[in-house]
Amino acid sequence: MLPKVLAVNRLRRLYGDTVAVDGVSFDVGQGEIVGLLGPNGAGKTTIINMILGVLEPTSGTIRIEGADIAVSRVRALERTNFAAVYAPLPGNLTVYQNLRVFGLMYGVKELPERIAALLEQFDLKRLRHSRCGVLSSGEQTRVSLAKAMINRPRLLLLDEPTASLDPAVASDIRAQIHEFVSRDQVGVLWTSHNMYEVADVCDRVLFLSRGRILLEGDPGTLPRAHGMDARGTLHRRGPRSARAEADLSMAPFRRTAAIVLRQFYLMRGSPVRVLPIFAWVAVDIVLWGFITRYLNAIASPGFDFVPVLLGAILLWDFFTRVMHGVSIAFLEDVWSHNFLNLFASPLSIREYIGGLVLTSIATSALGLITMVVLATTAFGLSFFVYGFMFVPFLLVLFLFGIALGIFASALVLRFGPASEWIVWPIPAFLSPFAAVFYPVSTLPPWMRQVSCLLPPSYVFEGMRAIVSGGAYRGTTLLLSACLAVLYILLASWCFTRIHRHAVRTGLLARYSAESTG
């Protein structure tokens, strides 16, 4: 006997003393549309969020084609997709770009052909290159439905899917979903306030009130038996069509690539996002370049400020660009309200962080190239003065920048979008302790203790030692590299823990543009 597409057993969710879902059990079979009907606050969306893995049940189990989502989250969600009016796709990407990003995330083979078919099916061809943010609510709903079907899921979750559609379009969408279910024998859980729509669409209906299932049965007869009027017929089953296959062997790489591709689309479509990569570092190099030139003119002959000050600025700006590269890539998902779409997919935290890091590598490399070209051509900074140590210096700063970027992102995830101001001043706060422009010995004893814990302090001490002709031990730089790697592990652990907290408390499911306190 084949397993049910969805099996929910004794599902319970508490918020403090409030019971949102109270011991709910039900299943969805292959080729079956099950309606979940109830008033606001009945627990419909809470159940959907728990099935999607963005909200942890207080107790109970959820199995998708036999896979327990608490144990095999990625395996379960590879076979699932959803559409909801409260989870629109990022408005700063076009229809095609959104479908391509999520197609990669779900590992869909022959993706261009699949996208073309969905654009045709949902009458989106003329909107292919339109940004989702400028579409009408009905058009955005059709895009969300196209995304929900991109991987031909075995389980399709639809939360008020036709709420913003006019009656004619809504009727057409219902017919398309019927055809999809009949052809592919997909299981659908459909939530709605509208009994007439549920009766028209669903094979079976569950009436939910105050977190409990009160009634269950045939939508055509059950309402009349309990004093309600309804209409509708059940759809007929048809032969299954070929399914859109997923390349599971490359799935983790594709999901990471999807995060990078999203950032590439954002930069390609918005010069305003690209300009700061070059502008701020160029301003710093020009400003400090003229300062070092002036200092060389008034200082005693024989000492060159360029490799000491301008070199320090270049290295510190590189570190800052790395950290901000990770944080900004994360904040793009915050600003576009994209968390539910991301974390209700098979995307793992490791893959997500990997995508943020790869994005930062690209943006910080562009900034570094800009600084190197300006510093060498305009102000005569020669990197040969640092010898082979210049590359290890960059590596240590890169690793520590990644660690701080991940940690700053974790703070925003925990405290909400209003806390993003924490991200920007972190490098400035650390710079006195990192001894960017002066020896660590200049600092008072308590600051020196802090400095010993910061990898950049070892880099800048080494840079000054090399420029002044002194010796610098490689073991010291190795220690700083080990510290930086340790901080990456701690920051990743912190991000994972905070994400886990967000799922457990329901923060991730209700994440908004306001501070979450």
Query: Which tens digits make up the pLDDT trace of 176-192?
Result: 888 888 888 899 999 88
Evaluate the CA torsion angle 504, 329, 283, 302 in order and state its sign: positive
pLDDT in tens, 420-430: 888 899 999 99
Residue 240 lies in a domain: no
Inform me whether the pLDDT recorded for 474 exceeds 50. Answer: yes
Task: Verify that 341 and 231 share a domain, yes or no.
Answer: no
Asked if 18 contacts 123 with a C-beta cutoff of 8 angstroms, the reply is no
Residue 74 lies in a domain: yes
Task: Verify that 201 and 258 share a domain, yes or no.
Answer: no
How many whole angstroms separate alpha carbon 106 and alpha carbon 344?
A: 11
Task: Verify that 225 and 256 share a domain, yes or no.
Answer: no
**DSSP states of 449-489:** HHHTT-HHHHHHHHHHHHHTT----HHHHHHHHHHHHHHHH
Give the full edge-to-edge strand order of the sheet including 59-64.
18-28, 6-15, 59-64, 67-68
Task: Verify that 351 and 488 share a domain, yes or no.
Answer: yes
* Domain endpoint, select from 208, 235, 262: 235
Helix (H) or strand (E) holding 206: strand 204-209
Residue 513 lies in a domain: no
Task: Verify that 261 and 200 share a domain, yes or no.
Answer: no
Task: Verify that 385 and 458 share a domain, yes or no.
Answer: yes
Inform me whether the pLDDT recorded for 234 exceeds 60. Answer: no
pLDDT (0 to 100) of residue 23: 93
Q: What is the mean pLDDT of residues 382-392?
A: 88
What whole-number percentage of the chain has pLDDT above 90? 62
Residue 276 banded pLDDT, cuts 50, 70, 90: confident
Torsion of CA 169, 171, 173, 178, to 10 degrees: -170
pLDDT in tens, 94-107: 999 999 999 999 99
Residue 512 lies in a domain: no
Task: Verify that 213 and 315 share a domain, yes or no.
Answer: no
Residue 245 lies in a domain: no
* Domain endpoint, select from 235, 265, 286: 235
Residue 259 lies in a domain: yes
Residue 514 lies in a domain: no
Q: What are the tokens at 446?
A: 């308590």
Evaluate the CA torsion angle 243, 46, 89, 37 in order and state its sign: positive
pLDDT (0 to 100) of residue 179: 85
* Domain endpoint, select from 184, 200, 235: 235
CATH number at residue 198: 3.40.50.300
**DSSP states of 264-312:** HHHHHT-HHHHHHHHHHHHHHHHHHHHHHHHHHHHSPTT--HIIIIIHH
Task: Verify that 289 and 427 share a domain, yes or no.
Answer: yes
Q: What are the tokens at 226?
A: 């309990």
Task: Verify that 230 and 283 share a domain, yes or no.
Answer: no
Task: Verify that 468 and 389 share a domain, yes or no.
Answer: yes
Task: Verify that 357 and 467 share a domain, yes or no.
Answer: yes
Q: Structurally, how many domains does the chain consist of?
A: 2
Q: What is the mean pLDDT of residues 478-504?
A: 96
Asked if 239 contacts 246 with a C-beta cutoff of 8 angstroms, the reply is no
pLDDT in tens, 41-66: 889 999 999 999 999 999 999 999 99
Task: Verify that 300 and 216 share a domain, yes or no.
Answer: no
How many whole angstroms separate alpha carbon 121 and alpha carbon 438?
A: 65
Residue numbers of the domain that contains 311: 250-505
Residue 205 lies in a domain: yes
How many whole angstroms separate alpha carbon 495 and alpha carbon 334?
A: 15
pLDDT (0 to 100) of residue 388: 85
Q: What is the pTM of this model?
A: 0.89
